[in-house]
Amino acid sequence: MTGILISIDLGTTRLKVAAFSVDGTLHEQRHRRHREHGRGGTRWQDPDAWWQDTVDLVREVRSLVEVRLGLVDALGLSLSGRGGAAIFADADGNVLIPPWSDERHAGEQARLRRHYRDALAPYAAALLAKCVWLRAEAPDVFRRARYAFYAKDFLLYRLTGVHCTDWSSGPDGPRWPAGVLAELGLTESLLPRPALPWQIAGHLTPEAARCLDLPEGTPVAVGAHDGVCANIGAGACRPGDYAITLGTHAVVRAVAEQTAPGARRFYCLPETRQVVGGNALMGGRATDWFLDLLGASETSRETAFAELEAAARGVAPGAGGVRFLPYLGGQVAPERRTAARATWAGLSIEHGRDEAYRSVLEGVAFAVEGVFGQVLGWCGEPRRIRVTGGGARSDLWVDILAAVLGRPLELADAAAEGRGAAMLLAVGLGRFDDLDAAADALVQLDRRVEPAPELSAAYRRLGADWKRLDDAVRGYEPSFDG
> Looking at the domain 2-226, which fold is it?
Nucleotidyltransferase; domain 5 (3.30.420)
Report field, pTM of the whole predicted structure over 0.85: yes
Could you read off the pLDDT tens digit of each residue along the chain, which spans 482 residues? 789 999 999 999 899 999 999 999 999 999 999 998 987 678 899 999 999 999 999 999 999 999 999 989 999 999 999 987 899 999 999 999 999 988 899 999 999 999 998 889 889 999 999 999 999 999 999 999 999 999 999 999 999 999 999 999 999 999 999 999 999 999 999 999 999 999 999 999 999 999 999 999 999 999 999 999 999 999 999 999 999 999 889 999 999 999 999 999 888 888 789 999 999 999 999 999 999 999 998 888 899 999 999 999 999 999 999 999 999 999 999 999 988 999 999 999 999 999 999 999 999 999 999 999 999 999 999 999 999 988 999 999 999 999 999 999 999 988 999 999 999 999 999 999 999 999 999 998 989 999 999 999 999 999 999 999 999 998 887 765 54
The pLDDT score that the predictor gives to residue 297 is 86
The pLDDT score that the predictor gives to residue 480 is 56
The pLDDT score that the predictor gives to residue 482 is 46
The pLDDT score that the predictor gives to residue 469 is 96
The pLDDT score that the predictor gives to residue 479 is 66
- Asked whether 76 and 424 are in contact (CB, 8 A), the reply is no
The pLDDT score that the predictor gives to residue 110 is 92
Q: What ranges do the domains of the chain cover? A: 2-226
